[in-house]
Amino acid sequence: MKKTMTRLADGRELIYYDLRDDVVRDDADHRPLDPVSTASEIRHDRLLGDSVAIASHRQGRTYLPPADACPLCPSRDGRATEIPAADYDVAVFENRFPSLAGDTGRCEVVCFTSDHDASFADLTAEQAALVLEAWTDRTAELSQHPAVQQVFCFENRGAEIGVTLGHPHGQIYAYPFVTPRTERMLASLAAHREKTGGNLFDDVLADERADGRRIVLDAEHWTAFVPYAAHWPYEVHLYPKRRVPDLLALGEAARTEFPQVYLEVLRRFDRIFGPDEPPTPYISAWHQAPLHAADRGEFALHLELFTVRRTSGKLKFLAGSESGMNVFINDVPPEAAAERLREVASE
């Protein structure tokens, strides 16, 4: 992997990750851009105890432009984009419309490929491995940011999820606090340790493998399963078999095997509802240990993948119980979801 760092016309960082070492990245960004002006603010909810980012400047961000106006495509034929180069493997840059900036953290865009019409599932194993290297490298860099407490790499795909750009890409949020979902995991982890003396993540993985009904894919170094209490119609959790707190600590064997495993899971997601359905919308989220948690070594790096589509042509909406009380109601039994994901395995 070759890493090249440069800057866009407004001063934002742009980092290229290339498969070839002989690639030269010296294309300049000549767009007449004004400096990025953000108004991000973190407010604390005294009743719930969580934090909310107020970011009014995001109202003006680009929304579902046509393919010939995509800002994540390479700059070609006289049309300048966020990527000055005429082609790229993986590119990461500071979001022009960040939810978090400065003392409130940082937001980055990760472009998985220069091919506008592709998706992550279309990548080769070599390309997917490069994305993993980019996630790992950005986690290392952002962990040094003095305001950052937690690094979150994720992908939203599909208009149903709410994406504003159709080009295959993800994001990285570097939060100045530990997220509420992670706080709940840490609390459950501590309670389980006090009650049993064991590690909750290890025991969940061991229990799922022993049960077997919800296992989707069991590789040498990774296990993919539908969780016992899945919140979403089709939801898969992907764990390395050796517990590590973050991407930086992922062993070489697991790192090497990850692309094949993850690509297979994504391709199965696209086959859940049959060949005549459009690509399955999903959220794919890496859960990493908070940077300064006292028990971060007990935390287990894992990826959670889920879709809001519950059946052909129908979505799972977060209505009164989910949005009002955070109590999920799932129409698809986890065992049935796992069986379906096994049925659509690659030949």
Q: Which helix (H) or strand (E) holds 6?
A: strand 2-7
* Structure letter (DSSP) for residue 147: T
- Residue 126: CATH number of its domain: 3.30.428.10
- The answer to whether residues 278 and 338 belong to one domain is yes
Domain of residue 287 covers 181-343
If DSSP codes are grouped into helix, strand and coil, which group holds residue 156? strand
| 169 in catalytic set | yes
Q: Which helix (H) or strand (E) holds 209?
A: helix 200-211
- The answer to whether residues 126 and 206 belong to one domain is no
| Amino acid at the residue 194 | E
Which CA distances in Å does 211 have to 190, 198, 207, 215, 234? 24, 19, 6, 8, 19
Yes or no: say if 264 and 229 are a contact pair by the CB < 8 Å rule. no
Contacts of 347 (CB under 8 A, 6+ apart): none
Q: What is the reported pLDDT for 153? A: 98
| Domain-terminating residue out of 124, 148, 178 | 178
Which residues, in sequence order, are bridge partners of residue 51? 44
Q: Select which of 116, 167, 169, 221 is catalytic.
A: 169
- The answer to whether residues 108 and 231 belong to one domain is no
- The answer to whether residues 193 and 173 belong to one domain is no
CA distance 300 to 112: 25
- The answer to whether residues 171 and 236 belong to one domain is no
- The answer to whether residues 215 and 84 belong to one domain is no
| Amino acid at the residue 95 | N
Of 178, 189, 188, the C-alpha closest to 50 is: 178
Token pair of 105 as six digits: 């953290």
Tell me the backbone φ, ψ of residue 295, rounded to 5 degrees: -115, 35
- The answer to whether residues 21 and 56 belong to one domain is yes
| Domain-terminating residue out of 129, 156, 178 | 178
- The answer to whether residues 212 and 150 belong to one domain is no
- The answer to whether residues 12 and 141 belong to one domain is yes
Yes or no: say if 94 and 33 are a contact pair by the CB < 8 Å rule. no
- The answer to whether residues 174 and 185 belong to one domain is no
Which CA distances in Å does 3 have to 10, 11, 74, 196, 236? 21, 18, 17, 45, 32
- The answer to whether residues 191 and 323 belong to one domain is yes
Yes or no: say if 303 and 284 are a contact pair by the CB < 8 Å rule. yes
Q: What is the reported pLDDT for 326? A: 93
User: The pTM is what?
Assistant: 0.96
- The answer to whether residues 78 and 204 belong to one domain is no
Query: What is the full per-residue pLDDT of the chain (347 aa) written as tens digits?
Result: 999 999 999 999 999 999 999 999 999 999 999 888 777 899 999 999 999 998 876 766 676 788 899 999 999 988 999 999 999 999 999 999 999 988 899 999 999 999 999 999 999 999 999 999 999 999 999 999 999 999 999 999 999 998 989 999 999 999 999 999 999 999 999 999 999 999 999 999 999 999 999 999 999 999 999 999 999 999 999 999 999 999 999 999 999 999 999 999 999 999 999 988 899 999 999 999 999 998 899 999 999 999 999 999 899 999 999 999 999 999 999 999 999 999 999 87
Q: What is the reported pLDDT for 101? A: 87
Q: What is the reported pLDDT for 60? A: 62
Look at the chain and report how many structural domains it folds into.
Answer: 2
CA distance 270 to 80: 32
If DSSP codes are grouped into helix, strand and coil, which group holds residue 296? helix
CA distance 54 to 76: 35
In a 13 Å sphere around the CA of 294, the CA atoms on its Cβ side amount to 3
Of 194, 199, 182, the C-alpha closest to 291 is: 182
| Domain-terminating residue out of 146, 163, 178 | 178
